[in-house]
Amino acid sequence: MINIIIFFGATLTVLILLFMQFGAVRLISTTDYDAVFANSSGLKDGESVRIAGVEVGKVRSVEISDGTQARVGFDVDSDKPLTGGTRATIRYANLTGDRFLELSDGPGPTERLVEDDTIPVERTQPALDIDVLLQGFTPLMQGLSPDQINQFANEVVTVLQGQGGTVESLFTSTSALTHALADRDQVIGEVGEVVDNLNTVLGTLNSKGDQVTDTVVNLQKLVSGLSADRQRIGGSLEHVDALTTSVAGLLIDGRPRSRGPWSSSAARPDSSTRDATPSTRC
């Protein structure tokens, strides 16, 4: 019986710890606040609230306020008081679109905010519109691999959000981008030469437009004439073929008759010539 009680007690403890971990349950006393934003696009319930990069609370709600603004409710650990100069900024947590709420000190009153106080829109800043930002780099990114694009975009967003420690890394990525485009400069130059040559050819044809037109028209007339006389041309070719066959047969038949007599006369002397030879007898 004691073993069963110990087993159920340990199991219940593990379940409670898992629920607290994955359910983001906080046992620390918290204080609720609100912040008004001109645009809270992408921020959802349950996103983290951070001060100097350390999570100190959670976003409780995101609602429409006055029809044109967003009211974000959040809680912060009670031992992390906010003041009248606290600023709230929505930042990107990663390139997949997750966001978090960052709180930072700014100029203004130093008195502490109390439960349910609101940070006005003048002291809030919406998230950077990364879509508009990256669209400006579209022509340059066409020559990069997806991994290079993701790394470059992540570092651009990080730098523009005020995390200046990655400026050196951004410059490194920019250098890699420049080298990648430079490697393709030769290909781009060759394509440019082809385009220039094509422009030259088209310009020459355009300057001799009348002659080209006449040539095309005359060629069309020639083709049309040949097409109209195709039957007569075909008949003529048949007669030529028959004539060629007849001439070939005539040459074959006539060649032996012309060669025979010539060979006979060359082999034997004429009898009249033999008789006319003067005698040499004494």
**Which tokens sit at 40?**
């809270």
Instruction: Report DSSP state, residue 123.
Output: G
| pLDDT at residue 122, rounded to an integer | 94
**Which tokens sit at 126?**
């919406």
Between CA 245 and CA 76 the distance in angstroms is 110
Q: Is the residue at 220 inside a domain?
A: no
On whether both 35 and 112 belong to a single domain, the answer is yes
| pLDDT at residue 127, rounded to an integer | 80
Tens digit of each residue's pLDDT (9 = 90 or more) over 235-252: 777 777 777 877 777 777
On whether both 120 and 136 belong to a single domain, the answer is no
On whether both 156 and 92 belong to a single domain, the answer is no
Between CA 149 and CA 137 the distance in angstroms is 10
Q: Is the residue at 50 inside a domain?
A: yes
Q: Is the residue at 75 inside a domain?
A: yes
Question: pLDDT higher for 171 or 228?
Answer: 228
pTM: 0.47
Query: Would the pLDDT of 258 be above 70?
Result: no
Q: Is the residue at 214 inside a domain?
A: no
Between CA 74 and CA 58 the distance in angstroms is 6
On whether both 117 and 142 belong to a single domain, the answer is no
Tens digit of each residue's pLDDT (9 = 90 or more) over 125-160: 988 766 666 566 666 556 667 777 677 667 666 655
Domain end call among 119, 154, 183: 183
| pLDDT at residue 51, rounded to an integer | 94
Q: Is the residue at 163 inside a domain?
A: yes
CB 90 within 8 A of CB 37: yes
Query: Would the pLDDT of 109 be above 60?
Result: yes
Residue 106: which residues within 8 A CB-CB, separation 6 or more? 85, 86, 87, 123
Q: How far is CA 75 from CA 20, 27, 55, 61, 105, in A?
A: 17, 13, 11, 10, 17
Give the pLDDT mean for 189-208. Answer: 71
**Residue environment code for 41-65, b if the CB has 16+ CB neighbours within 10 A, otherwise e:** ebbeeebbbbbeeeebbbbbebeee
| pLDDT at residue 220, rounded to an integer | 80
Tens digit of each residue's pLDDT (9 = 90 or more) over 216-235: 777 887 777 777 777 777 77
Q: Is the residue at 241 inside a domain?
A: no
Tens digit of each residue's pLDDT (9 = 90 or more) over 51-71: 998 999 999 999 998 888 999
On whether both 112 and 155 belong to a single domain, the answer is no
Q: How many helices (H) and strands (E) does the chain have?
A: 9, 8
CB 98 within 8 A of CB 76: no
Q: How many CB atoms lie within 10 A of CB 140?
A: 15
Measure the CA angle with vertex 202, ends 200 and 206; round to 5°. Answer: 115
On whether both 152 and 170 belong to a single domain, the answer is yes
| pLDDT at residue 281, rounded to an integer | 45
Q: Is the residue at 201 inside a domain?
A: no
On whether both 53 and 142 belong to a single domain, the answer is no
On whether both 84 and 44 belong to a single domain, the answer is yes
Question: pLDDT higher for 211 or 281?
Answer: 211
On whether both 119 and 143 belong to a single domain, the answer is no
On whether both 48 and 123 belong to a single domain, the answer is yes
On whether both 46 and 138 belong to a single domain, the answer is no
- For 53, the domain range is 26-127
Q: Is the residue at 7 inside a domain?
A: no
Looking at this protein, which amino acid is placed at residue 90?
I
- Count of residues in the chain: 282
Q: Based on the structure, what is the number of domains in the chain?
A: 2
Residue 179, CA atoms < 13 Å, CB-side half-sphere: 7
Residue 112: which residues within 8 A CB-CB, separation 6 or more? 81, 82, 83
On whether both 141 and 68 belong to a single domain, the answer is no
Which residues are registered as beta bridge partners of 57? Answer: 49, 76
